[in-house]
Amino acid sequence: MRRESLIVGGGPAGSAAAITLARAGRPALIVERTREAADALCGGFVSWRTIDTLSRLGIDPDALTPARIARARVFAAGRSGEACLPRPALAVSRRRLDTLLRARAEALGVAIEHGVTVRAIDDRHVTTADGARLDADVLFLASGKHDIRGSARPATARGTDPTLGLRVRLASSPSLRRLVGDTIELHLFDRGYCGIVLQEDGSANACMAVHRSRLREAGSPEALLRDLARGSPQLGDRLAGGWSSIDAIANVPYGWRTDQGYSGVFRLGDQAAVIPSLAGEGMGIALASGRAAAQAMIAHGPAGSGGWQRDFSRSISAPLRRAGAVWALADRPWTAALLPFAARVPGALAMIAAATRVPATE
């Protein structure tokens, strides 16, 4: 059976596309590899602009969490600096966010098939792990950081010392709430950084981007965490209560984006562009791309995908470039040590935060 719209991936990007299509009366099928919403490796930060996008999709931000993130704090070389964000943000687990987005999509009539792993994509033809073939007039590729044979991002985007994503959960405690509070923290260290924020259940999400060479020197993710705790008293205080098992994903191509458009194929979220995670705008790109791609499909049909992909690539080039410049500063010890001082300059951190947001969409 051929479908009008097939969406590979039921995360924020795929759900946003499905919701937008359903509101226009256009049928869609989501195929999702997990059997239920999982706590995917993600920083969990939702910017003020992304809150607006969620509201447009019919998601009440207070249903995600009533708490708000008001400030950002930067640590490097034993120093710290903090400032207010341009507008309040929030932090939420991917399990909570994905659950509400998928429920919204299903309430609008979207079909979701869970536990379906896509092995290969050829144009708009999808082959699943059990050998089934799914065909569609339009394919929305929203598989996040997971590449699929036939549509993988180029290996050259990873660089010679690729970046790995690591994530641990820190159990809720009075000391952790006191230390982190209503801030998003960025701990900078040699060849990497760690973002920490409290989520809806009071636990903290500690997400790291680390060059492979630094992890190799440490010997293992566990050894790296112990090294970081010893080298930074502030980070050590936050890790002191222990952590959950370590989730990891290899070779994250931060800074990559595509402007290659193919008729009837829309690449969304991390399959369209990967912003350095210290910007906290990954979910912003996912939701904005899903919504905008679906709008292009509604307005122009399958033929609108190529033009949309190029336009979307241009619209996010400046935020990606600016986030990459900040990452380059954070990646070098002698310049990273200056960033806490820069954070104390009135308006500086707010300006950087605003400059790395995805452009607003109607």
In whole angstroms, how large is the CA radius of gyration of the chain? Answer: 20
Residue 1: its pLDDT value, please?
Answer: 65
**Prediction pTM value:** 0.94
> To 10 degrees, the CA torsion angle through 263, 265, 266, 269?
-140
Which helix or strand (DSSP H or E) is residue 135 part of? strand 133-141
Least confident of 34-48, 57-71, 311-325: 34-48
Q: What are the φ and ψ backbone dihedral angles of 358, each rounded to 5 degrees?
A: -70, 135
- 286 pLDDT more than 90: yes
Residue 152: its pLDDT value, please?
Answer: 76
Residue 238: its pLDDT value, please?
Answer: 94
Least confident of 45-49, 79-83, 150-154, 329-333: 150-154
Task: Please name the residues in contact with 223: beta carbons below 8 A apart, sequence gap of 6 or more.
Answer: none
Domain boundaries, the chain: 2-157+253-355
- 339 pLDDT more than 80: yes
Cα separation, 359 vs 80, in Å, equals 29
CATH architecture of 2-157+253-355: 3-Layer(bba) Sandwich (3.50)
Residue 260: its pLDDT value, please?
Answer: 83
- 156 pLDDT more than 70: no
Residue 35: its pLDDT value, please?
Answer: 85
Report the pLDDT averaged over residues 304-316.
Answer: 95
> In this prediction, what percent of the chain has a pLDDT beyond 70?
98
Cα-Cα-Cα-Cα dihedral sign, residues 360, 12, 23, 55: negative
Residue 2: its pLDDT value, please?
Answer: 77
pLDDT in tens, 207-245: 999 999 999 999 999 999 999 999 999 999 999 988 888
Q: What is the mean pLDDT of the chain?
A: 92
pLDDT in tens, 42-78: 889 999 999 999 999 999 999 999 999 999 999 999 9
Q: Read off the pLDDT band of 356 (50, 70, 90).
A: very high
Q: Is 187 exposed, middle or buried (0-12, 13-18, 19+ CB in 10 A)?
A: buried
End-to-end CA distance of the chain: 34
Residue 14: its pLDDT value, please?
Answer: 97
Residue 251: its pLDDT value, please?
Answer: 84
Q: Read off the pLDDT band of 310 (50, 70, 90).
A: very high
Cα separation, 223 vs 162, in Å, equals 19
Residues 75, 232: contact at Cβ < 8 Å? Answer: yes
Q: Read off the pLDDT band of 125 (50, 70, 90).
A: confident
Report the pLDDT averaged over residues 181-201.
Answer: 95
Report the pLDDT averaged over residues 24-45.
Answer: 89
Residue 359: its pLDDT value, please?
Answer: 86
Q: Read off the pLDDT band of 261 (50, 70, 90).
A: confident
